[in-house]
């Protein structure tokens, strides 16, 4: 077909079945039964006949160029209208070169790295036949019990928005480029707030909270040009997101002007029945199409019901036409009519995926995401000391985390391999000691004996990579199995001992903080994980990552997040009861938002503000001097927070409004300046207006959300 295809004319020629087909997404086996035997089962599950296959609009789950090309070719041969299929897949933190999980990546506070990894991901994906990725996930998260916090960039709306935008740019670039893929922001909206961190649970929040904290990151992704949106599984304001008109018609379409396709989540139209807002598939289809969902993922309520509903006048024909038009427009914009195969190329994919250049990028990016949580001076290790790596993650190649697409264990560098690469295998010994979640302590003895041989010990601990992500909620956040006991056994040797953690969520690690001299949070670092950790452990890279999600003191404190409120009875040290506090634990998290150590020290001094008052049109400059007073060059992330002291709604104790990453050599200093604008002071008032209010503000600048210097100013309007 010609690229200059007229979509509106095409729509006019389509039958109602062909239109419904565009709204349908199938898995690969429907198109090529030779690959997977009979398709009778799946066809009858969806209650459709074979003819509908050749009218479908998109495919979920093709992961290699050959299958994609075969399916597209068969489809175009058999389909009457020959509208190319769109191929979608979850490529979340890398396709075959796997980067750190998004929560780790965010700890880099490095937007260029986020864009670069999305770019590399787009190249590997597009060569492998993937055209749309269900990423980025922009859900704000405050509850580490929820397994999907690993897919988020953390607890701050501003930072989440910046990352979502950077990732969208990396994937999509300019859609004419053959190596670009379409981004689909998810999960709209508020999925990160599932009650008690239990997967698929209810979400309930005020409109104020939704707009202030949860919506901005999705909006930032759309402002960056994100072409698709996925509706969430969870109810919100009493209605499941997939059937929620307020979210999709009112906010997304009308207020924000988004005109791209909205896709359901996996079977989420059908789940409207289980939620109890639809009695059957027909009602589910009505709710979803009226609320604004265009593409139905994995179930068939649209194709089974829309025709009849339209003929009976229950659903307006225009709703179907608009949905089809959005899908066709995207296909046209993406250049599918011109080249239905886009960049898919089996040979080139083979040569390009996990190439040395991409590995190098993964190594550098991974090293930027590893957070030094504690260091009593034993790190970095010296390269001539014999090291024992003990613990279930010691030589584990399963360190890419969930949603690792085509990432392969045999292409992943374990911690053991990375350290051998760094200091030579003759100086490295290794023993697991126990399984990640097992109860067996029999191998402790072997581990202790191996550890005795070494000068320094590295404990490689954490979670199983597949016990994070979707459907992986946990109520206990301590280290699984007998790992803590292994720690105690090894610490008895009284050797310099550091812990490296592999996990997809903030864990409860106050006991480690109390007894282990050094703790390194490696998250699930991906393909080059072992090499990247070795760079940090041996001081070739000075750690620079900072947490974007608070580590709770204990589970009972959750949700604990930095941008919380003062309350009417705030706690402060020495204050008289009754105040807002726990009897048995501190209010503060174990490690706060923005926290992370370096092998050097940075001193902050001379916080200044250019003027004490500011008018609507003016800007202020806040500045601080930062000096490297330690013995190694390093990168510091200087963080700007603002507090609105009195507002018409309650205002957070502090909100991140800017940051700068600066590199300082030994003894070097730099004056870091931030421009403060009225725009940064705006919030949603009680009536939903987004505006700044006159009054006093605090400006806080520092190295994390709990260590800041403060000045004040007044906004006059
Ligand atoms: C998840 C989505 C994902 C989709 C497709 C769902 O279960 O919630 O995040 O994109 O499956 O795989």
Statement to judge: residues 503 and 622 lie in one domain: no
Statement to judge: residues 553 and 621 lie in one domain: no
Q: CB under 8 Å to 292, separation ≥6 — which residues?
A: 245, 248, 249, 252, 253, 262
| Tens digit of each residue's pLDDT (9 = 90 or more) over 52-89 | 999 999 999 999 999 999 999 999 999 999 999 999 99
Sole residue written with tokens 């704000």: 140
374 lines ligand 1 (CB under 6 A): no
90 lines ligand 1 (CB under 6 A): yes
Answer yes or no: are the C-beta atoms of 388 and 451 closer than 8 Å.
yes
Residue from 28, 134, 200 to probe ligand 1 pocket by mutation (most atoms less than 8 Å from CB): 134
| Tens digit of each residue's pLDDT (9 = 90 or more) over 374-422 | 999 999 999 999 999 999 999 999 999 999 999 999 999 999 999 999 9
Predicted confidence at residue 54, as pLDDT, reads 96
d(Cα 527, Cα 533) in Å, to the nearest integer? Answer: 12
Please provide the distance, in angstroms rounded to a whole number, between the alpha carbons at the two ends of the chain. 58
Report angle CA 455, 458, 464 to the nearest 5 degrees.
160
Residue 655 lies in a domain: yes
Ligand 1 centre distance from Cα of residue 320 (Å): 24
How big is the chain, counted in residues? 717
441 lines ligand 1 (CB under 6 A): no
d(Cα 374, Cα 380) in Å, to the nearest integer? Answer: 12
Predicted confidence at residue 664, as pLDDT, reads 98
Count of beta carbons in the 10 Å neighbourhood of residue 589: 23
Ligand 1 centre distance from Cα of residue 215 (Å): 19
Statement to judge: residues 646 and 552 lie in one domain: no
Catalytic residues: 265
User: pTM of the entire structure?
Assistant: 0.97
Nearest to 503 by CA among 477, 531, 539: 477
Ligand 1 centre distance from Cα of residue 501 (Å): 27
Q: CB under 8 Å to 313, separation ≥6 — which residues?
A: none
Ligand 1 centre distance from Cα of residue 372 (Å): 32
Q: Which of the listed residues 494, 527, 557 is the one where a domain comes to its end?
A: 557
d(Cα 153, Cα 162) in Å, to the nearest integer? Answer: 10
Residue from 229, 265, 296, 471 to probe ligand 1 pocket by mutation (most atoms less than 8 Å from CB): 265
Report angle CA 356, 358, 360 to the nearest 5 degrees.
70
Predicted confidence at residue 34, as pLDDT, reads 60
Phi and psi for 608 in degrees, rounded to 5? Answer: -140, 155
Statement to judge: residues 510 and 630 lie in one domain: no
CA 51 to chain centre: 39
- In order of 7, 168, 293, 613, the CA distances from 330 in angstroms are 10, 16, 15, 48
Answer yes or no: are the C-beta atoms of 23 and 295 closer than 8 Å.
yes
Report angle CA 248, 254, 255 to the nearest 5 degrees.
95
CATH of residue 512:
3.40.50.1700
Answer yes or no: are the C-beta atoms of 486 and 447 closer than 8 Å.
yes
Statement to judge: residues 618 and 472 lie in one domain: no
Nearest to 428 by CA among 475, 395, 393: 395
Measured by CA distance, the residue closest to atom 11 of ligand 1 is 266
Q: Would the pLDDT of 35 be above 60?
A: no
Statement to judge: residues 382 and 521 lie in one domain: yes
296 lines ligand 1 (CB under 6 A): no
Statement to judge: residues 545 and 609 lie in one domain: no
| Tens digit of each residue's pLDDT (9 = 90 or more) over 625-656 | 999 999 999 999 999 999 999 999 999 999 99
Predicted confidence at residue 71, as pLDDT, reads 97
Measured by CA distance, the residue closest to atom 7 of ligand 1 is 266
For residue 368, name the pLDDT band (cuts at 50, 70, 90).
very high
Any alpha helices (H) in 130-187, and if so which ranges?
Answer: 157-172
Residue 480 lies in a domain: yes
Nearest to 657 by CA among 671, 677, 672: 677
Statement to judge: residues 531 and 634 lie in one domain: no
Statement to judge: residues 674 and 607 lie in one domain: yes
Predicted confidence at residue 2, as pLDDT, reads 46
- In order of 191, 231, 255, 578, 586, the CA distances from 252 in angstroms are 16, 11, 6, 44, 40
Sole residue written with tokens 């589910």: 284
Can you read off the two tokens belonging to residue 267? 């079977």
d(Cα 717, Cα 711) in Å, to the nearest integer? Answer: 20
Answer yes or no: are the C-beta atoms of 62 and 74 closer than 8 Å.
no
Statement to judge: residues 551 and 660 lie in one domain: no
Residue 706 lies in a domain: yes
Ligand 1 centre distance from Cα of residue 230 (Å): 9
The whole-number average pLDDT for the span 600-618 is: 96
What dihedral angle (degrees, nearest 10) is formed by the CA atoms of 521, 524, 527, 533? 10
Q: Relative to the CA of 230, which ligand 1 atom is closest?
A: 10
403 lines ligand 1 (CB under 6 A): no
Sole residue written with tokens 């690690």: 509
Ligand 1 centre distance from Cα of residue 152 (Å): 14
Answer yes or no: are the C-beta atoms of 271 and 240 closer than 8 Å.
yes
| Tens digit of each residue's pLDDT (9 = 90 or more) over 287-326 | 999 999 999 999 999 999 999 999 999 999 999 999 999 9
| Tens digit of each residue's pLDDT (9 = 90 or more) over 134-185 | 999 999 999 999 999 999 999 999 999 999 999 999 999 987 788 999 999 9
Side-chain-side CA neighbours of residue 266 (13 Å): 10
Measured by CA distance, the residue closest to atom 6 of ligand 1 is 266
Residue range of the domain that includes 385: 362-557
Measured by CA distance, the residue closest to atom 2 of ligand 1 is 265
Classify residue 631 by its DSSP letter: S
265 lines ligand 1 (CB under 6 A): yes
683 lines ligand 1 (CB under 6 A): no
Bridge partners (DSSP) listed for residue 684? 690
Any alpha helices (H) in 173-239, and if so which ranges?
Answer: 207-209, 216-223
Ligand 1 centre distance from Cα of residue 709 (Å): 43
Residue 382 region, left (φ>0) first, then alpha (ψ -120 to 50), else beta?
beta
Residue 320 lies in a domain: no
Q: Relative to the CA of 134, which ligand 1 atom is closest?
A: 10
Classify residue 279 by its DSSP letter: S
Residue 629 lies in a domain: yes
Whole-number average pLDDT of the chain: 96
Q: Would the pLDDT of 501 be above 80?
A: yes
Answer yes or no: are the C-beta atoms of 275 and 266 closer than 8 Å.
no
Q: Which of the listed residues 532, 557, 582 is the one where a domain comes to its end?
A: 557
Residue from 138, 181, 183, 266 to probe ligand 1 pocket by mutation (most atoms less than 8 Å from CB): 266
Nearest to 498 by CA among 463, 464, 454: 454
d(Cα 101, Cα 523) in Å, to the nearest integer? Answer: 7
More reliable by pLDDT, 708 or 40: 708
Measured by CA distance, the residue closest to atom 10 of ligand 1 is 134
Ligand 1 centre distance from Cα of residue 448 (Å): 43
Measured by CA distance, the residue closest to atom 5 of ligand 1 is 266
Report DSSP letters for 314-376, one per residue: SS-HHHHHHHHHHHHHHHHHTTTTT-TTTT--HHHHHHHTT-HHHHHHHHHHHHHH-EEEEES
Ligand 1 centre distance from Cα of residue 399 (Å): 21
266 lines ligand 1 (CB under 6 A): yes
Measured by CA distance, the residue closest to atom 4 of ligand 1 is 266
Can you read off the two tokens belonging to residue 472? 């992986």
Predicted confidence at residue 42, as pLDDT, reads 76
The whole-number average pLDDT for the span 695-712 is: 98
For residue 39, name the pLDDT band (cuts at 50, 70, 90).
low
Residue 78 lies in a domain: no
Ligand 1 centre distance from Cα of residue 59 (Å): 14
Answer yes or no: are the C-beta atoms of 597 and 374 closer than 8 Å.
yes
Residue 692 lies in a domain: yes
Phi and psi for 563 in degrees, rounded to 5? Answer: -95, 50
Q: Relative to the CA of 186, which ligand 1 atom is closest?
A: 9
470 lines ligand 1 (CB under 6 A): yes
Q: Which of the listed residues 527, 557, 587 is the one where a domain comes to its end?
A: 557
CATH of residue 706:
2.60.40.10
Ligand 1 centre distance from Cα of residue 468 (Å): 14
Q: CB under 8 Å to 330, separation ≥6 — which residues?
A: 86, 182, 227, 228, 260, 261
Ligand 1 centre distance from Cα of residue 90 (Å): 7
Statement to judge: residues 607 and 701 lie in one domain: yes
Q: CB under 8 Å to 568, separation ≥6 — which residues?
A: 580
The whole-number average pLDDT for the span 206-220 is: 97
Answer yes or no: are the C-beta atoms of 415 and 458 closer than 8 Å.
yes
Residue 259 lies in a domain: no
Ligand 1 centre distance from Cα of residue 348 (Å): 28
27 lines ligand 1 (CB under 6 A): no
Residue from 89, 404, 470, 472 to probe ligand 1 pocket by mutation (most atoms less than 8 Å from CB): 470
186 lines ligand 1 (CB under 6 A): yes
Q: How many separate domains does the chain show?
A: 2
Residue from 62, 90, 132 to probe ligand 1 pocket by mutation (most atoms less than 8 Å from CB): 90
| Tens digit of each residue's pLDDT (9 = 90 or more) over 180-191 | 999 999 999 999
Nearest to 326 by CA among 407, 259, 235: 259
Answer yes or no: are the C-beta atoms of 293 and 244 closer than 8 Å.
no
Statement to judge: residues 503 and 615 lie in one domain: no
């Amino acid at each position: 077909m010609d690229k200059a295809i007229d979509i509106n004319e095409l729509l006019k020629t389509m039958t109602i079945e062909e239109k419904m087909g565009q709204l349908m997404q199938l898995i690969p086996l429907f198109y090529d039964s030779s690959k997977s035997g009979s398709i009778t089962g799946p066809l009858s599950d969806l209650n459709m006949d074979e003819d509908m296959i050749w009218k479908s609009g998109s495919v979920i789950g093709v992961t290699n160029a050959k299958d994609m090309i075969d399916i597209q070719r068969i489809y175009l041969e058999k389909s009457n209208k020959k509208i190319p299929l769109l191929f979608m897949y979850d490529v979340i933190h890398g396709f075959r070169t796997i980067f750190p999980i998004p929560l780790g990546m965010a700890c880099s506070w490095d937007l260029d790295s986020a864009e670069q990894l999305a770019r590399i991901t787009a190249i590997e994906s597009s060569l492998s036949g993937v055209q749309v990725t269900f990423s980025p996930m922009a859900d704000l998260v405050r509850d580490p019990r929820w397994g999907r916090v690993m897919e988020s960039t953390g607890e701050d709306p501003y930072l989440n928005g910046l990352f979502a935008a950077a990732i969208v740019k990396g994937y999509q670039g300019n859609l004419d480029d053959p190596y670009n893929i379409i981004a689909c922001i998810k999960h709209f909206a508020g999925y990160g707030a599932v009650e008690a961190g239990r997967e698929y649970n209810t979400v309930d929040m005020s409109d104020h909270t939704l707009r202030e904290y949860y919506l901005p990151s999705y909006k930032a992704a759309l402002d960056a040009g994100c072409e698709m949106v996925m509706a969430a599984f969870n109810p919100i304001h009493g209605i499941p997101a997939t059937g929620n008109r307020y979210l999709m018609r009112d906010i997304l379409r009308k207020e924000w002007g988004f005109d791209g396709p909205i896709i359901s989540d996996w079977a989420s139209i059908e789940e409207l029945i289980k939620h109890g807002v639809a009695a059957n598939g027909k009602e589910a289809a009505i709710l979803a199409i009226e609320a604004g969902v265009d593409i139905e993922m994995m179930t068939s309520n649209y194709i089974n019901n829309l025709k009849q509903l339209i003929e009976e006048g229950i659903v307006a024909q225009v709703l179907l036409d608009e949905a089809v038009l959005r899908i066709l427009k995207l296909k046209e914009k993406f250049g599918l009519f011109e080249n239905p195969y886009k960049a898919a190329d089996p040979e080139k994919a083979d040569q390009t995926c996990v190439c040395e250049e991409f590995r190098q990028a993964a190594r550098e990016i991974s090293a930027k995401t590893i957070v030094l949580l504690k260091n009593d001076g034993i790190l970095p290790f010296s390269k001539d000391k014999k090291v024992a790596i003990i613990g279930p993650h010691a030589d584990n190649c399963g360190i890419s985390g969930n949603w690792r697409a085509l990432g392969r264990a045999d292409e992943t560098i374990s911690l053991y391999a990375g350290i051998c690469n760094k200091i030579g295998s003759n100086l490295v010994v290794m023993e697991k000691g126990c399984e990640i979640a097992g109860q067996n302590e029999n191998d402790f003895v072997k581990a202790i004996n191996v550890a005795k041989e070494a000068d320094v010990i590295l404990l490689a601990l954490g979670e199983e990579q597949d016990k994070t992500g979707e459907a992986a909620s946990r109520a206990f956040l301590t280290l699984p199995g007998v790992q803590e006991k292994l720690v105690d056994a090894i610490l008895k040797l009284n050797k310099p001992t550091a812990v490296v953690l592999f996990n997809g969520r903030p864990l409860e690690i106050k006991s480690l903080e109390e007894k282990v001299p050094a703790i390194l949070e490696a998250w699930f670092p991906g393909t080059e994980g072992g090499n990247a950790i070795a760079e940090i452990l041996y001081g070739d890279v000075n750690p620079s990552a900072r947490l974007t999600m608070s580590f709770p003191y204990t589970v009972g404190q959750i949700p604990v997040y930095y941008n919380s409120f003062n309350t009417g009875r705030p706690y402060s040290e020495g204050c008289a009861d009754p105040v807002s506090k726990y009897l048995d634990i501190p209010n503060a998290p174990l490690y706060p938002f923005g926290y992370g150590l370096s092998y050097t020290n940075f001193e902050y001094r001379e916080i200044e503000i250019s003027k004490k008052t500011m008018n609507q049109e003016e800007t202020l400059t806040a500045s601080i001097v930062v000096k490297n007073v330690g013995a190694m060059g390093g990168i510091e992330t200087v963080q700007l927070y603002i507090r609105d002291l009195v507002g018409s709604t309650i205002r957070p104790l502090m909100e991140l409004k800017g940051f700068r990453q600066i590199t300082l050599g030994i003894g070097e200093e730099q004056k870091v300046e931030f421009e403060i604008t009225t725009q940064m002071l705006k919030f949603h008032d009680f009536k939903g207006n987004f505006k700044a209010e006159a009054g006093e503000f605090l400006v806080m600048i520092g190295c994390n959300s709990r260590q800041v210097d403060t000045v004040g100013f007044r906004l006059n309007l």
